[in-house]
Structure 1
Amino acid sequence: MGEASFSLKKIAIPAYGPSVLFGLGNGAILPVIALSARDLGASPALAGLIVALIGLGSLATNIPAALVTARFGERKALTGASTVMVAALLLCIFARSEALLAVSTLLIGTATSVFYLARQTYLIEAVPFAMRARALSTLGGTHRIGMFFGPFAGAALMHFLGLAGAYWVGIAALTGAGLLSWSIPDLHAGPKDETQVNAAKPRMAAIARTHASVFLTLGVGILLISAMRAGRQVVIPLWADHIGLSPAATSIIFGLTSAVDMLVFYPAGKIMDQYGRLWVALPCALIMGLALLSIPLTGVLITFLTVSMLMGLGNGFGSGINMTLGADASPSHGRTEFLGLWRLISDVGTSAGPVILSGITALVSLGAGIALIGSFGFVAAAIFWRSLPHGR
Structure 2
Amino acid sequence: MSHPATSLAPGSGRFDLRMLLFSVYVPAFLMSVGQGAVLPIIPLYAKELGAAAGLAAAVVALRGVGTMTFDLPAGLAVARWGDKRTMVVGAFALSAVSLVAGLSSSVLQLAVAIFLLGGGMGIWVLTRLVYVSEVTPVAHRGRALAMLGGTNRVGTFIGPVIGGVLGQFVGLQSAFFLQGALAALAAVLMIFLVRDIPKHTADGEGEANLYRRLGATVVDNRRPFLTAGPAMIALQILRTGRQVLIPLWGDAIGLDVAVIGLIFGISSAIDMTMFYPVGLLMDRVGRKFAAVPSLLILSLSMALIPLTDSALTLTLVGLLSGIGNGLSTGLVMTLGADYSPPGNRGEFLGVWRLVGDIGTAAGPLVIGGITGVLTLGISAVATAGLGLAGAAVMAFLAAETLTKEAPDREEETGRSGAPP
Task: Tell me the TM-score range normalised by the shorter chain.
Answer: over 0.9
Decide whether the 8 Å contact of 1:217 with 1:383 is kept in 2. Answer: yes
- Structure 1 equivalent of residue 100 of structure 2: 91
Paired with 2:11 and 2:246, the residues of 1 have a C-alpha distance of: 43
Q: Does 1:329 align with 2:335?
A: no
Decide whether the 8 Å contact of 1:291 with 1:307 is kept in 2. Answer: yes
1:371 Cα deviation (Å)? 0.8
Residue in structure 1 matching 2:370, options 355, 360, 371:
360
Residue type of the partner of 1:29?
A: V
Residue in structure 1 matching 2:39, options 9, 27, 30:
30
- Structure 1 equivalent of residue 412 of structure 2: none
1:159 Cα deviation (Å)? 4.1
Paired with 1:331 and 1:181, the residues of 2 have a C-alpha distance of: 25
1:90-129 alignment, distance < 5 Å: 90-129=99-138
1:107 Cα deviation (Å)? 1.1
1:223-238 alignment, distance < 5 Å: 223-238=233-248
Residue in structure 2 matching 1:75, options 67, 84, 109:
84
Decide whether the 8 Å contact of 2:296 with 2:387 is kept in 1. Answer: yes
Residue in structure 2 matching 1:348, options 353, 358, 368:
358
- Structure 1 equivalent of residue 256 of structure 2: 246
- Structure 2 equivalent of residue 378 of structure 1: 388
Q: 1:391 to 1:55 in 2, by over 3 A?
A: closer
Residue in structure 1 matching 2:265, options 255, 274, 283:
255
Paired with 2:304 and 2:401, the residues of 1 have a C-alpha distance of: 29
Residue in structure 1 matching 2:281, options 271, 278, 300:
271
Q: 1:69 to 1:206 in 2, by over 3 A?
A: closer
1:250 Cα deviation (Å)? 0.9
1:24 Cα deviation (Å)? 0.5
- Structure 2 equivalent of residue 388 of structure 1: 399
Matched positions, count: 386
Q: Which runs of 5+ in 1 are unaligned?
A: none
Paired with 2:245 and 2:162, the residues of 1 have a C-alpha distance of: 21
Residue in structure 2 matching 1:214, options 218, 224, 234:
224
1:137 Cα deviation (Å)? 1.1
Residue type of the partner of 2:112?
A: V
Q: 1:391 to 1:113 in 2, by over 3 A?
A: closer
**Structure having greater relative contact order (Cα 8 Å, sep ≥ 6):** 2
For residues 198-240 of structure 1, what are the alpha-carbon distances to aligned partners after superposition, in whole Å with 9 as ceiling and x for unaligned?
Answer: xx86522222222222211111101111111111111111011
Residue type of the partner of 2:73?
A: P
Decide whether the 8 Å contact of 1:82 with 1:111 is kept in 2. Answer: yes
Residue type of the partner of 2:399?
A: L
* TM-score, normalised by the number of residues in structure 1: 0.93
1:391 Cα deviation (Å)? 7.9
* TM-score, normalised by the number of residues in structure 2: 0.87
1:82 Cα deviation (Å)? 2.0
Q: 1:254 to 1:2 in 2, by over 3 A?
A: farther
Decide whether the 8 Å contact of 1:28 with 1:166 is kept in 2. Answer: yes
1:69 Cα deviation (Å)? 2.8
Paired with 2:336 and 2:78, the residues of 1 have a C-alpha distance of: 18
Bigger shift: residues 364-373 or 78-87: 78-87
Q: Does 1:304 align with 2:291?
A: no
Decide whether the 8 Å contact of 2:84 with 2:197 is kept in 1. Answer: no
1:63 Cα deviation (Å)? 1.1
Bigger shift: residues 97-106 or 158-167: 158-167
Q: 1:350 to 1:320 in 2, by over 3 A?
A: same
1:297 Cα deviation (Å)? 0.9
Paired with 1:217 and 1:3, the residues of 2 have a C-alpha distance of: 37
Residue in structure 2 matching 1:338, options 328, 348, 353:
348
1:323 Cα deviation (Å)? 1.0
1:187 Cα deviation (Å)? 4.2
Residue type of the partner of 1:17?
A: V
Q: 1:390 to 1:59 in 2, by over 3 A?
A: closer
For residues 285-311 of structure 1, what are the alpha-carbon distances to aligned partners after superposition, in whole Å with 9 as ceiling and x for unaligned?
Answer: 011001011111111111100101110
Decide whether the 8 Å contact of 1:3 with 1:131 is kept in 2. Answer: no
Residue type of the partner of 2:122?
A: S
Decide whether the 8 Å contact of 2:299 with 2:387 is kept in 1. Answer: yes
1:344 Cα deviation (Å)? 0.9
Decide whether the 8 Å contact of 1:151 with 1:255 is kept in 2. Answer: yes
- Structure 1 equivalent of residue 406 of structure 2: none
Paired with 1:160 and 1:72, the residues of 2 have a C-alpha distance of: 43
Decide whether the 8 Å contact of 2:161 with 2:262 is kept in 1. Answer: yes
1:269 Cα deviation (Å)? 0.9
Decide whether the 8 Å contact of 2:305 with 2:380 is kept in 1. Answer: yes
Q: 1:5 to 1:391 in 2, by over 3 A?
A: closer
Residue type of the partner of 1:388?
A: A
Q: Aligned-pair RMSD on alpha carbons? A: 2.2
Paired with 2:289 and 2:179, the residues of 1 have a C-alpha distance of: 35
Residue in structure 1 matching 2:51, options 37, 42, 47:
42
SS in 2 for 1:253: helix
Residue in structure 2 matching 1:283, options 277, 280, 293:
293
Aligned residues with identical type, % of pairs: 38
Q: Does 1:12 align with 2:38?
A: no
Paired with 1:4 and 1:152, the residues of 2 have a C-alpha distance of: 41
Paired with 2:12 and 2:373, the residues of 1 have a C-alpha distance of: 53
Q: 1:337 to 1:241 in 2, by over 3 A?
A: same
Bigger shift: residues 304-313 or 174-183: 174-183
Residue type of the partner of 1:229?
A: R
SS in 2 for 1:162: coil
1:342 Cα deviation (Å)? 0.9
Q: Does 1:152 align with 2:161?
A: yes
- Structure 1 equivalent of residue 413 of structure 2: none
